[in-house]
Structure 1
Amino acid sequence: MPIAEDPEPRPDEGREAGGKDPFADLVLDEEFVKGANVKEQAGRTRMLAARWKHTPPVDPGGRRSVNDGPAPKRRFGRKPKALAYDAWGNPRPVRSQRWQTPLFVALTIVVLLAALNVDGLRNWFHGGSPDTSAPVPTVAPETAKPTTAPPKVAEDRPTVARPWAGSPAEGWPNGAEAFVLPEAKATGVFSADQVAAQLQLVKDYLIAANLDPKALAGGRPEAALAMLDREERDHAAAALDSPSKENDPTNWFSRFDPREAIPVGDVVKVQGRISFEGDGDKGVLVHADYSYVYALRPGKEAGKLPKPSKPTQPAQPKPSGPAAPGDSTAKPVGLVTPVDDVSGDTWTTRTVIRRVENFRFYDPARYQVNPKKLAFGDGSTSEFGNAECFVYDGFYHPHFDQFDDRTPGDRPTGPKEDPYDRSRELKPGDGNGDGECGTVSRY
């Protein structure tokens, strides 16, 4: 609806003859006001219009009207900088935005994320990788000899919270789950039930000799000793009482010095198989080929125990008969020493031990034997990976990277082998192979 401008003076020639105003009789009632086509401006509107004819208004910024025309185009989506004005409409300089604030916010976020993942940050700093690899698939116990080594997995630093990180043994069975006995059949002079009892006895011994938490922590493996025949038991007991190069208890049992290495939890990863066959004397020969992977954290004296030097003569295979007690190279640890708990990001290590053992059950009608006890057959041997060579104190001594101060001349120089490769044939000996200490490709 149009709005009336300021009224101009009416000319005299618009009056009717006789000087009478033509609007003198006009009545401005309510009906006339509602029917008007033109409205008069308000007083403030007329005042502002008169002022703006001489002094145009100043845009305070931040607002746009329909009279401002189209908005300028933004480059790369950035907002145009707007000028600032004071209360009187005068422009004032715009302070540049502080760049320190977003930088401080970003640094705070990084520090918080690093605090929540200290282990991953440490792995990255030492050349490892964060825990982004997919979990290792579950592997069932063996039913036959493998033809290749386990596939490689992403390298990662093992810790107390994740002791199997970066190891193919992560998917292996836990402890006794790996000992799956074959179906017992009548063999030689023994019935199927007798063979089943012999297989169970072998399984119980393997668990007691390699998985007993007390024995692993340096204790005496009494349960395993009780399952051996008299001659075998005397031989093993003498080795425990006086360990030496010729009479090493680690040929039978897995043990660690608690001052130096402490098992992480109760889980031991195991892979292998058991089989049996008849022998020429109508007895039974049970074969056990198993690899044991132990996760260990450093003890209070890790890296402080004396290190051995390589002998000048190659190590010889262990004798088949009982050995006389000799001078002890270290005091056996009979009790488990309590130690303080450690945080979940403490670095750990792993020692891999493979044992190939043969157990012979003789015909009791031809030999004076106890059919409920174990006797070792020929061909039993073992090897270990990631442990000190040429140490004969009755314990395995694993290497911890954070305490490894060996010089290049003290490090093993033998061939590098994969301790997880169960397709290899073991060389009979005392755990050091042909007397040369080798290295491991992974642990």
Structure 2
Amino acid sequence: MTNGDDLDARFNELIAQIDADEQRRMRAAATRGSRPPRSDKAMRPLGRAGRGLLATVAVITVIAAAGAVVAFRPDLLSPSVRPAGPVPEETQPVMAAPAATGVQTAAPGEETAADPFAGSPAEKYADGAAGFVMPKAKALGGVSKKEVAKALDRTRDLMAAAYLDHKTLMGGKPSAFMKLLDREQRAWYRKNLDLRKKDKDDFDSRGWVISFAPKTARLSTDVIKVSGRTTLAKARKYGRSGALLKLNHLVVYAVHRPGQPATTIRLVAHPTGSVFVYREAGELVLLLENWGHSSTPARCDVDDAFIHPSYADSAPDAVGASGPPSDPYDPHEEKGGEEDRKGECRASDPT
């Protein structure tokens, strides 16, 4: 390695080999932010000093190019699985500001934008569970205010487990979601999980959570964007009085093919459902009803309860989309559970 004094000496030696007139022209050009004048002397073949300066500029250019790759490929800095232990201080890169906003998709080999949500409505959504905003608790249908508050907290936890839990998202067993269900509903859920359908009316309870089909997707960022609302009202069901929570949210993921971060897309899921809260035998019961979701861009020609993302280079879907394109960011588009169960495929605007 060459120390700082050697570098200074070499630089001064190089400068000394350039005559005074040429140095003045170069300083003037640098001040104007333009190239040196195209004089006869400037056009002559480069001597040893010129080649030395050119090499210095080349090194600077390579460093700048490497910085650009870091800025546009955040996956190189923030992998889904972070390395163990702290990163040594001398190896931490300096992040440059990205020169472009979000891009919906990128062809293999192209760089992805630093913020995959930039330029979309999701950019202004809350991060993660902060988007599951609950209404103010109040006594309803024989359920006390304190019990309603408890039910609201548990419902928020259920949504976080269903839509944000990494293990569940990657197609694993939704253990975090199951343990929050009441005992009887938990037994039903487990029995019907990943059900191999023998009849088209068989229901796979995997559809109550959001799971990408194994080996089809990886999260491009730790951030998941959430927006929506939960309403609270008095209700009577199954001969019982209680409180009814209705859920309507948009959850936006940035995902890519495993090992191909340049294929990053925004996938918009629209989960809906309700939770009936009542008292039975002195206990508070939360009964989940009609939970389901739609998602786009996703394949319609796979008959299971997983989401199969549709990337820019994916093969055409064997099932044709129907109807006029809908806005995937419109929370009033009622396109959740029942439609998914019927296997319908609706056209959608880009995400």
1:165–1:258 Cα change, 3 Å: farther
What does residue 87 of structure 1 align with?
none
Corresponding residue number in structure 2 for 1:358? 274
1:120, 1:201 → 2: CA distance?
A: 40
My pick for the range that moved more, 276-285 or 159-168, is: 159-168
- Structure 1 unaligned segments of length 5 or more: list them: 1-61, 63-78, 82-93, 123-129, 135-152, 301-341
Would you say 1:159 and 2:112 are equivalent positions?
A: yes
The amino acid of 1:251's aligned partner reads G
For 1:439, the equivalent position in structure 2 comes to: 347
* 2:328 match: 419
Higher helix share: 2
Cα pair 2:105 2:263 within 8 Å, conserved: no
What pairs up with 1:377-388 in 2 under 5 angstroms?
A: 377=289, 380-388=291-299
> TM-score, length-normalised on structure 2?
0.65
Which one of the candidate residues 296, 302, 306 is aligned to 1:395? 306
Cα offset, 1:347, TM superposition: 3.2
Code of the residue aligned with 1:352 in structure 2: it is: V
Residue 276 of structure 1 and its aligned partner are, at CA, apart by 0.9
Matched-pair contact (CA < 8 Å) for 1:256–1:396: yes
- State the 1:223 CA deviation: 2.0
Match of 2:213 among 240, 252, 257: 257
Q: Is 1:277 aligned with 2:233?
A: yes
Partner of 1:312: none
Structure 2 residue runs without a partner (length 5+): 1-20, 22-36, 74-96
Counterparts of 1:36-435 in structure 2, within 5 Å, are 97=43, 116-118=67-69, 132=99, 159=112, 161-244=114-197, 246-280=202-236, 281-299=240-258, 346-364=262-280, 371=284, 373-377=285-289, 380-401=291-312, 403-404=313-314, 406-407=315-316, 410=318, 412-414=320-322, 415-426=324-335, 429-431=338-340, 435=343
CA contact (8 A) 2:207 2:292 kept: yes
Q: CA deviation at 1:225?
A: 1.0
1:188-211 deviation digits (Å, cap 9, x = unpaired): 111110111111111111111111
String of CA shifts for 1:179-237, please: whole Å, max 9, x gaps: 22221111111111011111111111111111111111221111211222344323322
Kindly name which structure, 1 or 2, has the bigger radius of gyration based on alpha carbons.
1
For residue 331 of structure 2, give the secondary structure of its aligned residue in structure 1. coil
* 1:363-412 residue CA offsets vs partner (Å, 9 max, x unmatched): 426xxx952x43123x54421111111423342111222x42x24x7474
The letter for the 1-side match of 2:158 is: Y
RMSD: 3.9
SS of the residue corresponding to residue 340 of structure 2 reads coil
Residue-by-residue CA offset, 1:8-66 (whole Å, 9 max, x unaligned): xxxxxxxxxxxxxxxxxxxxxxxxxxxxxxxxxxxxxxxxxxxxxxxxxxxxxx9xxxx
Asked if the contact 2:209–2:292 (Cα under 8 Å) also holds between the matched residues in 1, the reply is: no
Whole-Å separation in 2 of the counterparts to 1:225 and 1:173: 25
Structure with greater proportional strand content = 2
Relative distance call for 1:156 and 1:437 in structure 2 (3 A) is: closer
